[in-house]
Amino acid sequence: MKTLPVVVAALLLAAAPARAQVREAEVTGGKVAGVAGSNGIVAFKGIPFAAAPVGPLRWKAPQPLKPWTGTLGARTFAPACVQDLTLPRAFSAPLDLSEDCLHLNVWTPARTAGDKLPVMVWIYGGGFIGGQTSAPIYEGSRLAEKGVVLVSVAYRVGAFGFLAHPELSKESGKGSGNFGLQDQIAGLKWVKANIAKFGGDADRVTIFGESAGGIAVSMLAASPAAKGFFQRAISESGGSFGRPKFTNEGGVNVLPLQVAEAGGKAFLEKLGARDIAAARALGADAIQKGVAPGLAATTQFWPVFDGDVLPGDQYELYQAGRFNDTPVLIGTNSDEGALFIQGKVTPAQFEGAVRGGYGKGADAILAAYPHATDAEALASARNLMRESTFAWHTWAWAMLQSDNGKSKAFVYYYDHRTPQQPNGAGHGSEIAYVFRTVGEPGSTIGAPATPARPVDTTMSELMSSYWTNFARTGDPNRAGLPQWPAFTPADQRVLFFDDTQSGARPVPNIDQIKALDAYYAWRRDEAKTKAR
């Protein structure tokens, strides 16, 4: 097996750009003109893909856009969708916000419109309450240098993207609460119809995202509404395979429609709006002021099991073979929980939280997570957050794909450590390595950016090569790279990304994952009993 320094020179050579020639395109709505960068990549920014969801179109599925006249100079990012400014600041992104935000961006290295290059469509994270395409670490030209057409799609977040309400469900006839996911699907439809104009192959599309973006990728993989619009899927710290959340059950987030609608009614009451018409008459700032601060907003607004976009429990959908069967590349980071759980955690606090959320599964979970001291309790609180939010869902996804699909699953464990994160790789820390934007503002998510070290550049070249190989063929492997075996129930190896010898090894936290697996099985049985 070759070590990272041995392969980096070849990876850098593979990234050498061709001189792009696609500078204008006729797309849905009209003509757009891009801007060529010094590296030969042409960027088209701020292309509208749906009508502005404002006024009577607020809380509606994305609607067809009105054509424009002349040529749209697609030179700058459109404003981000309305949200709290915490995330844009953490990512050093522009602070411009608007409800008129359904725009996407394209970076292409194509020399002709007929090049038929693989396409990668990025879905940003942000807990479904924030996020934007304009963050510097999402700048797409450096990843596009590796021979892919890169697209990033904006979608509504928070109250604007995920409000469920009985009136909205009646209005649509198909439930409510998943407008942000419908935006993503509308973006994929735009890609299907238009990406060939930019030298992309509409039949070789990879969706990829991180955190809420990775969760969204898993939801699209189970959504009949997204069928046929992508042929591969990459989820970084994502997955959503828990049963519906009715109250405060640990490790699950997706509400059934009736519970979400009750929350929507309470939200309108908080706004002082008697009905949806009154709420649509309010300004965007008034709506945003009703959203809970910080991460608390994720308990208000999250995708919903609406019976349409999300038909139901994804675990059971996969068991029944009702999913979009594509190759998947999925994984988690070694220290995901540190971003979310900070400060002191005592053994009593940890045990109380587990018993309060995990019911009959609490004893097995407590046995799997040492918590005799404050230090152990803090570490276990962070690790339980990692497993219950990301790692179990990733493992379950890989198991279900391997058992019920024809396509392969490739799983990774990211443990690249830096001076800023010496104890493990934090949540989102892999993004800049995938995009080849290490050292850009916001690349350490809230901490000051630092220049890339040689070991960082090596890791970035390795990851971006695997990602683009996967987009090209559905398999991340290529001559000269450490072999990445497909994950199967009989061979549960994952690709470790670390600084000594990246390669395939057993799942590192399997005992904790199995304790959670028994818990989730019990929760699914409990949900069936409630349904009966």
Catalytically active residues are 211, 336, 427
Contact residues for 417 (Cβ-Cβ < 8 A; gap 6+): 423, 424, 425, 498, 499
Within 10 Å of residue 357's Cβ, how many Cβ atoms? 19
- DSSP character string of 453-487: PHHHHHHHHHHHHHHHHHHHHS----TTS---PPP
Residue 211 corresponds to which amino acid?
Answer: S
Please say whether the beta carbons of 489 and 459 come within 8 A.
no
Contact residues for 494 (Cβ-Cβ < 8 A; gap 6+): 331, 411, 412, 413, 487, 504, 505, 506, 507
Within 10 Å of residue 409's Cβ, how many Cβ atoms? 21
d(CA 130, CA 162): 12
User: 369 exposed, middle or buried (CB, 10 Å; 0-12, 13-18, 19+)?
Assistant: buried
- DSSP character string of 154-206: ----HHHHH---HHHHHHHSS--S-HHHHHHHHHHHHHHHHGGGGTEEEEEEE
d(CA 232, CA 236): 14
Closest Cα to residue 445, out of 237, 296, 252, 178? 237
Please say whether the beta carbons of 108 and 102 come within 8 A.
no
Residue 367 corresponds to which amino acid?
Answer: A
Going from the C-alpha of 402 to that of each of 72, 231, 316, 399, the distances in angstroms are 45, 16, 15, 5
d(CA 225, CA 205): 16
d(CA 116, CA 109): 11
Closest Cα to residue 385, out of 330, 335, 422, 447? 335
Contact residues for 72 (Cβ-Cβ < 8 A; gap 6+): 29, 30, 31, 32, 33, 47
Q: Distance from first CA to last CA of the chain, Å, rounded?
A: 54
Residue that the structure tokens 């757009």 belong to: 32
Q: Length of the chain, please? A: 532
Closest Cα to residue 182, out of 43, 306, 350? 306
